[in-house]
Structure 1
Amino acid sequence: MRDYYTIKINLPGGIVSPGYLKDILTAAWESGVRKVRFGARQQLLMTVHYEVVRFLEKDLQKLGVSYELNSETYPNIISSYCGEEVFRTGQWLGANEYHSVLDSFDYQPLLKVNISDSNQSFTPFFTGNLNFVSSPEPHFWYLYIRSKQSNNLFRWPELIYTNEIGRLAKIAEDCMLNEGCQNLETLYDAVKKQTDYISIPATQELELPAFTLPYYEGFNRYESRTWLGLYRRDELFSVEFLIDLCLLCLKTRVGEICATPWKSLIIKGIEDIHRNTWSSILGKHNINVRHAANELAWQTEDHTEDGTILKDYLVRYVEKNDTRTFGLCFGIQTRAKSEVFGSVLIRKRPLFQIAQLSLFSVYDLYFTENFNPNSRKHILFQKGLFKIHLPWQLERLCRQYNTRKTSENTDAFFIEKEEIKNASPATLTAHQCPNCMTIYHPEYGDTLNNIPPKTAFEALPETYCCPTCGTEKNELEEIQFPTAVLI
């Protein structure tokens, strides 16, 4: 018999009322649960001892709370509502539209559903199977379909009206799961045979913003109010603290608490007159709200101690070496077929496996196409790394990203010189490291690697590496420049 069970409670759209959450947490406290966490799909997760799990189940049933016990049958509907108003996008999408979409779901989806504002990048767009993304046309949405266990996306040919999303999603899910429709043509035909719905043609492609991850922790002003972001390094929230938080929300008339895909909480609409009271609650429970921005850019799987330990190990290295990670987010995958969100992906796998027995672990390091975490294409950077080698290779990848961004964003400038007649400047070929910009020139060789002058690049051994940062020979890039620079 297992000692602990996992109870999962979906919070549709990542939204929960303080009163509802307080009732759940009170029941959990009475059953001996002292800490809970929030999942990557904005759900509430509790680990409960087997001796009391039946009592907690009974209390949840009395409260009318839907839950799952050691099951992932019904994935939560996730949305970008947690960032609405907080990270302004200037689009038509607001609180009323989000609630209209969520209210249109009168069933529990078996497929993953994402509801996203196309102008934000705080929450993922395409980690669902049914991905609804707002269009420039008010109250109409793009729909992107992704089959289960697939990275292939295809776009619905129409924009869907807000109030039709729940009904269309239910029919599309039935066709995908029960009728075997796995491509756009067959699915579109099957849905059209079953129902009519309000839509308009999708005449233009979806344009997504460049990825940026805003700092989402601490007290922050917006308009005439304040929002509070709460992050926990170990991803665990004290039940006692959360109950106090719910009571304060009720007292100060804050109507909603938002869970984010980064396993944190956001509380909006804090009035200035209550700011000190909120600070007192954080002080009472020793809650820190100013972690470094690079630590907030990590996502791990739900229920993974290995992932949390590895995240802490890598974050400490990044802090110690002052590595620039701005513009990147990182995902750690310790289990096969799990899904995390990130522009850089670290996958753990066994070095040897005999039947069900895994021996030793290594890590593969990937990055997404153009370092966009919403891309479904992963590009291998390094394979089969031991844990001790992972931080340095991660820093190399960060440097590569920063070098690429610098070359993309730097404006070229030229200095006019007097024209020299009859001059035909000769050029020389060298090779440059794309990460640290060190140049290997055959005229000088490489004294640090015992390479004598006049050694051609082609004659270098295949094991040759950049003397500054260790980049391998096959990654060095050929460049041309005038011979005058050697004079």
Structure 2
Amino acid sequence: MQKKNLVRVFVKGGILSPGDFLKVLTTAKELGSEFIHLGSRQDILFPAKDRSKALLENIFKSINTEYEVNEFTHQNIVSSYVALDVMPNKKWLVPHVYHHILDSFDFRTKHRINLVDPSQSLVPLFTGNINFIASSTDNYWYMYLRLKKFDNMPIPYGKLIHGYDLAKAAKSLNERELEGENTTIEEFFAAVDQLEINTLNPLEELKYPDAAFPYYEGLNREPGGNYWLGLYWRNNKFSINFLIELCRRCMETNVGKISLTPWKSLIIKGIEENYLVGWEKLMGRFGINLRHSSLELNWHLPVLSDEALELKKYLVRALDQQDISTSGLTFTIKPNDDIYLFTSVVIEINTEEGDGGNTYNILYAKDFNPNSAAYVTYVKNVTKNVLPALLMELSVMYFDQIDDQPKHSIKKESAPVQEPVSERYQCKHCLSIYDAQYGDEAADIAPGTSFHDLPDTYLCSTCEAKKEAFMLV
């Protein structure tokens, strides 16, 4: 497949219904494709020819979905909806909030836009030009601009923006040439200041999530008792025939949404326990492997780069043979400059070949947390055969720098120290935070109540763990 033959389907927020997905799949099959690709912007790609434009227009108009053929002029809106019920999340950031905000984006955007909860680590924070990051205040969001002309470093807008006004701010910026040489960041923010939108001064700085990357494949239990299914193909060629049956299975078992991840995989949530055997039967009929090594799941590759795919296969095999753990790390293979980096480790393919073929550079994110957007060069111009050993060295560096000290301090009986109201305790099971400044409304705990003044019967409002499960953070 070549880029000139690509249909690119914009799946807003990475969320689509099984019925709409089925229409996309049957259209792709009708145009002669046996598979689809998933993109890092939570979009869908498949080959088609220009003469099919009338058919595409009718299909995508019927499901109210934007698409492009032979063009790459617009962008999909990425969201962390896919991480709900899979990873920790802001308590106020529930499905209908995502849907309401995404529905307010009623325009096509030429800039990358992200809508992300920082409590999770499955969807990167700053892979957009315009990044909206959820704050601790109900439905108020940080806004960060990340542009090449500012060295790709995320730059914060000084105020929080209400969720229902995010589209207004994005539309104002979408009408501007963000990468123009003569415009400044102050001009962009001044344009947002002039809008009639609801804003607040932030109560705290944005806290990045831990860099640890989750395992997201297979059947897993949700907090509410249902199950979610993560599916990954190592070559990013998803069989249309299988996906058609998957959509039908979703509709037969009351699964209302399918979510796409930025890692070229998909997640189906809300699978009822009494339907599990049928789902396992479907996987078995099509020979779907649900037990890939975590070495494979944490890679970001350009969709149509055979060179990058072959290099990944080589490196995964080499690391697997050495029984090396890369749990928590993520990797990018970068053959060109048109990729927004969002992984812990980056392998750059140099355009000039050495005597034995391509040479490579290895970079890693500061503190191995890609949300910092700051990268350090580890080596330059090395050959392919030494890459596995260098990645092993980096994995050791990563584990060495992890802080394994207890997060709480032990109080001396002779000199008890009163807990400041600002101290916070975290549940070690579900990572929920008890902040004395806010109390716990769900448990009728008033703001300003210190953790040590909580009754011994206090339970985590998210997972009902006992008070002893909380640690000072």
Q: 1:294 to 1:62 in 2, by over 3 A?
A: same
Query: Which is greater in Rg?
Result: 1
Q: 2: distance between equivalents of 1:3 and 1:396?
A: 36
User: Offset at 1:254?
Assistant: 0.9
User: Offset at 1:181?
Assistant: 7.3
> 2:395 pairs with 376, 395, 398, which one?
398
Aligned to 2:424: none
- State the SS of the aligned residue for 2:385: helix
Q: Deviations over 1:304-347 (max 9, x none)?
A: 11111111111111111011212211111112332342100000
Superposition TM-score, scaled by structure 2 size: 0.80
Q: 2: distance between equivalents of 1:286 and 1:391?
A: 30
Aligned residue pairs, count: 400
Q: 1:298 to 1:3 in 2, by over 3 A?
A: closer
Q: Tell whether the 8 Å contact from 2:221 to 2:227 is kept in structure 1 after alignment.
A: yes
**1:376 aligned onto 2:377:** no
Q: Which amino acid aligns with 1:107?
A: F
> 1:57 pairs with 39, 53, 57, which one?
53
User: Offset at 1:23?
Assistant: 1.0
Q: 1:212 to 1:3 in 2, by over 3 A?
A: closer
> 2:359 pairs with 350, 357, 362, which one?
362
User: Offset at 1:90?
Assistant: 5.0
Q: Which moved more, 1:83-92 or 1:166-175?
A: 83-92
- State the SS of the aligned residue for 2:229: strand
Q: 1: distance between equivalents of 2:133 and 2:405?
A: 32
How does 1:14-413 map onto structure 2 within 5 Å?
14-48=14-48, 53-63=49-59, 64=61, 65-89=65-89, 91-148=91-148, 150-177=151-178, 182-193=183-194, 195-222=195-222, 223-352=224-353, 360-405=357-402, 408-409=403-404
Q: 2: distance between equivalents of 1:321 and 1:351?
A: 30
Q: 1: distance between equivalents of 2:235 and 2:201?
A: 46
Q: Deviations over 1:400-431 (max 9, x none)?
A: 222223xx4257xxxxxxxxxxxxxxxxxxxx
Q: Which moved more, 1:34-43 or 1:66-75?
A: 66-75
Q: Tell whether the 8 Å contact from 1:181 to 1:187 is kept in structure 2 after alignment.
A: no
Q: 1: distance between equivalents of 2:119 and 2:235?
A: 30
Q: 2: distance between equivalents of 1:4 and 1:185?
A: 38
- State the SS of the aligned residue for 1:75: coil
Q: 2: distance between equivalents of 1:90 and 1:106?
A: 25
What is the alpha-carbon root mean square deviation over aligned residues? Answer: 2.2
- Structure 2: where are the runs of 5+ without partners? 407-473
Q: Which amino acid aligns with 1:233?
A: R
Q: Which has the higher strand share?
A: 1
Q: Tell whether the 8 Å contact from 1:5 to 1:47 is kept in structure 2 after alignment.
A: yes
Q: Tell whether the 8 Å contact from 2:259 to 2:266 is kept in structure 1 after alignment.
A: yes
Q: Tell whether the 8 Å contact from 2:147 to 2:178 is kept in structure 1 after alignment.
A: no
Q: 2: distance between equivalents of 1:197 and 1:3?
A: 40
Q: Deviations over 1:83-108 (max 9, x none)?
A: 11222335211101111110110101
Q: Deviations over 1:150-192 (max 9, x none)?
A: 4122111111111101111100222344987743322222333
- State the SS of the aligned residue for 1:261: coil
Superposition TM-score, scaled by structure 1 size: 0.78
Q: 2: distance between equivalents of 1:301 and 1:12?
A: 20
Q: 1: distance between equivalents of 2:378 and 2:266?
A: 33
